[in-house]
């Protein structure tokens, strides 16, 4: 689903697409050479893919990259890992986004500030305008600020369910008690709402493991 956002997001905003060969994507040095050569201005990566790339870049004396916006998704982000990059490329905007496959594509947006970059809090920000997000307990009751609970998502982008899996669809896509006639998706993700209304990602409520964002 991310490929749809990357492709059409670039083209609809007058950008061009740079297709990165698989072997290049696995080699931080080759990846940096390509980013320089193609003058890439927007880059979307999982945190685990970006950290070695950043480490490699810090060993280069030049400031040859043209990246204006770095977007992270697919895994929990540790903002403190971005500090060296921000010191070298102070004008780069650092954005953390969140969105399960079941709510294609992203549902939150968070631009990381200079103060927040020294934190290990994985702040996923606020819901996009067409999305509703609820932090609920086991009885689907709203939880107060600061109390961890399961994240539920409603609004546009929520899929109809899983192909040929009516049992799992019934378990994960449930009636929205706050909006009659609407369904919401049970993410299985543990979050808490911060005093400013943003959401902090705390981890999974089950044993699901993601590898490179999948």
Asked, as a colleague might, if the bond just before 177 is cis with ω within 30 of 0, I would say no
d(CA 151, CA 142): 10
Longest CA span, the chain:
58
Tokens 């019934």 belong to: 170
Block means of pLDDT (10 residues each) for the chain, 214 residues, are 89 95 97 98 96 98 97 95 97 97 94 90 96 97 98 96 97 97 97 97 78 48
**Number of DSSP helices (H) and strands (E) in the chain, helices first:** 6, 10
- Write down the pLDDT at residue 114: 86
Q: What residue ranges define each of the domains in the chain, with the CATH number in brackets?
A: 2-98 (3.40.50.980), 131-204 (2.30.38.10)
In the DSSP assignment, the letter for residue 189 is E
């Amino acid at each position: 689903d991310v490929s749809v956002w990357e492709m059409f997001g670039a083209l609809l905003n007058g950008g061009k697409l740079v297709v990165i060969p698989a072997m290049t994507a696995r080699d931080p040095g080759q990846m940096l050479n390509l980013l320089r050569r193609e003058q890439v201005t927007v880059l979307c990566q999982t945190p685990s893919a970006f950290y070695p790339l950043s480490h490699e870049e810090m060993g280069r004396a030049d400031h040859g990259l043209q990246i204006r916006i770095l977007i992270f998704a697919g895994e929990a982000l540790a903002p403190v890992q971005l500090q060296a990059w921000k010191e070298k490329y102070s004008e780069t905007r650092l954005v953390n986004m969140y969105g399960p496959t079941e709510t294609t594509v992203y549902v939150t947006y968070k631009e990381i500030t200079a103060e927040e970059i020294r934190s290990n809090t994985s702040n996923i920000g606020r819901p996009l305008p067409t999305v509703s997000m609820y932090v609920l307990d086991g009885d689907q009751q709203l939880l107060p600020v600061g109390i961890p609970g399961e994240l539920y998502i409603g609004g546009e982008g929520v899929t109809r369910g899983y192909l040929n899996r009516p049992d799992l669809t019934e378990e994960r896509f449930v009636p929205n008690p706050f909006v009659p006639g609407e369904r919401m998706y049970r993410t299985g993700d543990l979050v808490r709402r911060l005093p400013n209304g943003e959401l902090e990602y705390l981890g999974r409520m089950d044993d699901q493991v993601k590898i490179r964002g999948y």
